[in-house]
Amino acid sequence: MSDAFIVNGHIIDPANNIDEVGDLHITDGKIGPVISHDSNDYRDLNRGRSYQSPVYDATGLVVAPGLIDMHVHLREPGFEHKETIETGTAAAAAGGFTSVACMANTSPVIDTPEKIEKIYNIASETAKTNVFPFGSITKALAGEELTDMRGMYSAGAIGFTDDGVTVMNAALMRDALALSAELGFPIMVHCEEHHLNAGAVMNLGETSRKLGLIGSPNAAEDIIVARDIMLAEMTGGHLHVLHVSTAGAVELVRQGKKRGVHVTAEVCPHHWILTDAEVEKQGTNAKMHPPLRTQTDIDAILEGLRDGTIDAIATDHAPHAPSEKAQGMVDAPNGIIGLETCLPLVFTYLVQPGHLTLAEAIAKMTVVPAHILGIDRGTLSVGAAADVTLIDTGTINRVDITKSRSKSQNTPFNGWELKGWQTLTLRGGSSQ
């Protein structure tokens, strides 16, 4: 097991309210005490200290708990031409993530305990990060019959989701949330009313009308968010709203929380940086579900991030092959990759403008998603797994998608100049 010393870094661990310059010791792949440079321990320790190797000099760098992405499509099994557990987690590690939660819309769909076990088995052989699988809510994502959630939960599923599609049957959602209330796992919901969304390839608005494309109204998302919050209220289950994109959804989550409903929510960088106007410039690299919206929605999401309505930041990393994305707006699949650009987008577009402090942003990518998923990660507590990310907040780098470790390249952020890059990712104390 790995030993290491990370010295002279700016240690930010929101789980323990640590925000100070110091050293972090790693012993047997576990976190040891943080030694603050202001403490007597530090002076005592440094008298005649000789470090064992490896020593990571973190002077001028931020030392954070390894980041957690609670919304990733790893595509294995079934879509290995887009991504595999190995390549997706390599991209995750390059982006500073040490844990990812992977979605169930693979082929076959992850809808039995055996398939949950299969993900763990592949991950144990090939993954560069910890991998936590979701099971699906309905069999084959067909929206007709609930899966064996109890069995999948026992097999290690960390929650349940039909992400990519909405469970349109409210009675099934009620039953899924009732089981969530009983067993404690989260139900992660993709919110787009299928009939309002029919044929839509982008947001309904000025740009969709200009381009002659079918648009989806904000109401398609808001109706399902409202419905599911009501069902969570009725059952006491834990509802997690995936990739919030509308001002209305932010407000519904805010009001739900005020009433004491167990509802949490995440947002993705593209939804608080880009508007639907991007579709005209970038075509299918700006096509995802839910779609890019308007500045009014962005402003509401930023307010939701600031006031705590939005709990977590996730990527919805959704790799697709170049030939698939080349099919044009109507036929190309939805989604963009995001694992390697998330951290610098958060730093450049949330922290630098002052929407969040760096500690608040790190919390939304570490201890908060860990808490939502019920996983023992996202902290630098003594004895925790030594998952650690070092971040350079001073250097501007340009996104170069040809250097991505993902198998796919579908991003609207290629060529963007950003600050706040990962420089080292340790998982269990070992460099990834």
Nearer to ligand DOR, 62 or 318 (CB): 318
318 touches ligand DOR (CB under 6 A): yes
Q: Give the residue, chosen from 10, 30, 73, 262, that forms a contact with ligand DOR under the rule CB under 6 A.
A: 73
> Is 409 one of the binding residues for ligand DOR (CB under 6 A)?
no
Least distance from ligand DOR to the Cβ atom of residue 326, Å: 16
Looking at the DSSP bridge assignments, the partners of residue 187 are 160, 239
Quote the least distance from Cβ 396 to ligand DOR, whole Å.
29
Supply the minimum distance, in Å, between the C-beta of residue 296 and ligand DOR. 21
* Catalytic, out of 316, 331, 392, 400: 316
Contact set for ligand DOR, span 239-298 (CB under 6 A) = 288-289
Out of 133, 237, 248, 335, the only residue in the binding site for ligand DOR (CB under 6 A) is 335
Query: Considering beta carbons, is residue 65 or 335 the nearer one to ligand DOR?
Result: 335
163 binds ligand DOR, rule: CB under 6 A: yes
CB under 8 A, 24+ apart: contacts of 21-26? 24/63, 24/380, 24/388, 26/2, 26/386, 26/388, 26/426, 26/429
- Closest by CA to 242, choosing from 372, 93, 84, 65, is 372
Least distance CB 73 / ligand DOR (angstroms): 5
Q: What are phi and psi of 35, to 5 degrees?
A: -105, 105
- Structure tokens that stand for 12 in this block: 């930010």
Question: What residues between 362 and 381 interact with ligand DOR by CB under 6 A?
Answer: none
Considering only residues 104 to 143 of the shown chain, the ones binding ligand DOR according to CB under 6 A are: 105
Nearer to ligand DOR, 248 or 333 (CB): 333
Q: Which stretch binds ligand DOR (CB under 6 A): 18-26, 176-184, 329-337, 385-393?
A: 329-337
Q: Which is nearer to ligand DOR, 83 or 387 (CB)?
A: 83
Q: Which H or E run includes 21?
A: strand 18-27
Of 164 and 369, which has the nearer Cβ to ligand DOR?
Answer: 164
Nearer Cβ to ligand DOR, position 105 or 379?
A: 105
Helix 170-183 × helix 218-235 angle, to 10°: 50
Gap between the terminal Cα atoms of the chain:
14
Among 334, 357, 409, 430, binds ligand DOR (CB under 6 A): 334
Q: Which of 25, 174, 190, 227 binds ligand DOR (CB under 6 A)?
A: 190
Which one, 7 or 191, has the nearer CB to ligand DOR? 191
Q: Is 316 a catalytic residue?
A: yes
Interacting span for ligand DOR (CB under 6 A) from 93-101, 196-204, 244-252, 332-340: 332-340
3-class DSSP state of 122: helix
CA 365 to CA 66: how far, in whole Å?
Answer: 9
For ligand DOR, which stretch binds (CB under 6 A), given 112-120, 327-335, 363-371, 402-410? 327-335
Environment class of 222 (CB within 10 Å of its CB; exposed 0-12, middle 13-18, buried 19+): buried
User: Shortest approach of ligand DOR to residue 5 CB, angstroms?
Assistant: 40
Provide the 3-class DSSP secondary structure of residue 13.
Answer: strand
H helices of 184-327, in order, are 206-211, 218-235, 247-258, 269-273, 278-282, 295-307, 322-325
Helix %, strand %, coil % for the chain, to 5? 35, 25, 40
**Range in contact with ligand DOR (rule: CB under 6 A) among 174-182, 330-338, 354-362, 418-426:** 330-338
Any idea of the CA torsion for 221, 233, 174, 133, to the nearest 10 degrees? 70
Half-sphere exposure of 73 (CA within 13 A, CB side): 26
Binding site for ligand DOR (CB under 6 A): 73, 105, 163-164, 190, 288-289, 316, 318, 333-335
Positions annotated as catalytic residues are 316
